[in-house]
A and B are shown apart, each in its own frame.
Chain A
């Protein structure tokens, strides 16, 4: 009474069905869920953002202080030159102590992000499992967590870069008077702000990549677990 159709036939039929109907990874839905998750854990997101904020504010203040110094005392500018990435690299090479501090603060920031995201994944075991039961692909889960952390990274780095740059500006005004405004290379300072924002965003995504991958590999059967 069984074996009405053979297994090969059944699997062929299933694969034909799959060709006509796919499983989507809806970006807009992922974006919406990611935002809602951040909103519901607002204060914790603020703490994560604060970690990125301070690290990037420090990075920008180091960079732009050097820009101000170079503008005020052009003769001393020896190895440090260029703009953008080149400027950052030559500066860090010329000032190993500063380089060390900046690197440490960025590493701490990445670890903080990884920790926060791991916590977020653990806390949402059931939610992730449920989504997988509903047909979410692994890539959708990864998307979800990268969007969530990417948003935190973007907000934290950009505000951090702006505030860091503003502090440098204030200290330059206090130190050198209002006349310094005329000689500052504004474009270079803006480039530093943007670069630091991008660096912050990339580091956040780096920190979130392992937690996101782990979430995507979660077995859907975990949605059935009643504890946790």
Chain B
């Protein structure tokens, strides 16, 4: 990890208030975070804990009411609209829960769109886009429209698109929530592979326990604050094999996971009942 200790995202006392009725709802109550280059981070927390808000801040999609978010040591609140667009175009890649491919464009056109925004010529964009689709295993389906692709395939296209301009950060908002377990697992593997090979920082907002297994660190958000941050070395959870269900994962955490891992899984199941209400 030598030479990779630079912070790529840093949050200092970040607060966010939303007007609600007469008063304000404070979604974030002072968050401090440091995310290093090349890390694979999972943000976890129950619904309404503020993790989406935090996620939007880190991604430069929203500005804090108080405190500062630095992306590559730049305070994003000081950037104007053009500079933010530049940042989103080149520094950050986004992966969405609902894939969000542009429905009227083919897989290849979706992948090349950010490159066109970045000013690449059509030929360069096409050859790079074909290469990225090959990387995610969809080289043959570049002419397909999103409606002609399965959920997992659409998410692969979205991943290829997020890598279009060689970003330093990938933000994934519950990337596996709309996928079945096996497909979700494939997507996580793919993200991990790209994280390792390209050294890109991946920050993912997730409910998916198999995501924990590949994360370098897990940031637990609760009630607008960082509840705790766990490194993977601290927890040793096994969420079962591909196709095994979540409860099986809890069982194996019980049997051969450490205390911290069990703790993590307890939270997860607790969360599941929370969100089920």
A residues near B, CB below 8 A? 1-2, 4-7, 9-11, 14-15, 18, 21-24, 26, 29, 33, 36-37, 39-40, 126-127, 129-138, 140, 219-221, 223-224, 226
A220 vs B87: C-alpha distance when bound (angstroms): 13
Contact A18 B83 (CB under 8 A): yes
27 residue pairs of the A-B complex, CB under 8 angstroms, read A2-B10, A4-B6, A9-B73, A10-B73, A11-B78, A14-B72, A14-B74, A14-B87, A15-B83, A18-B83, A21-B90, A21-B118, A21-B119, A23-B86, A23-B118, A24-B118, A36-B104, A130-B102, A131-B113, A132-B88, A135-B117, A136-B117, A137-B82, A137-B85, A219-B62, A224-B173, A226-B97
Contact A135 B103 (CB under 8 A): no
B residues near A, CB below 8 A? 5-7, 10, 34, 52, 55-56, 59, 61-62, 70, 72-75, 78, 81-83, 85-90, 94, 96-98, 100, 102-105, 113-114, 116-119, 161, 164-165, 173
In the bound complex, residues from chain A placing their C-beta under 8 Å from that of B98 are 126, 226
Contact A224 B116 (CB under 8 A): no
Closest residue of chain B to A222 (Cβ to Cβ) is: B61
In the bound complex, residues from chain B placing their C-beta under 8 Å from that of A1 are 5
If A37-B104, A127-B102, A134-B88 touch, does A219 touch B61 (CB 8 Å cutoff)?
yes
If A2-B7, A4-B6 touch, does A126 touch B100 (CB 8 Å cutoff)?
yes
Closest residue of chain A to B6 (Cβ to Cβ) is: A4
In the bound complex, residues from chain B placing their C-beta under 8 Å from that of A23 are 82, 85-86, 89, 117-119
Closest residue of chain B to A138 (Cβ to Cβ) is: B81
A219 vs B119: C-alpha distance when bound (angstroms): 23
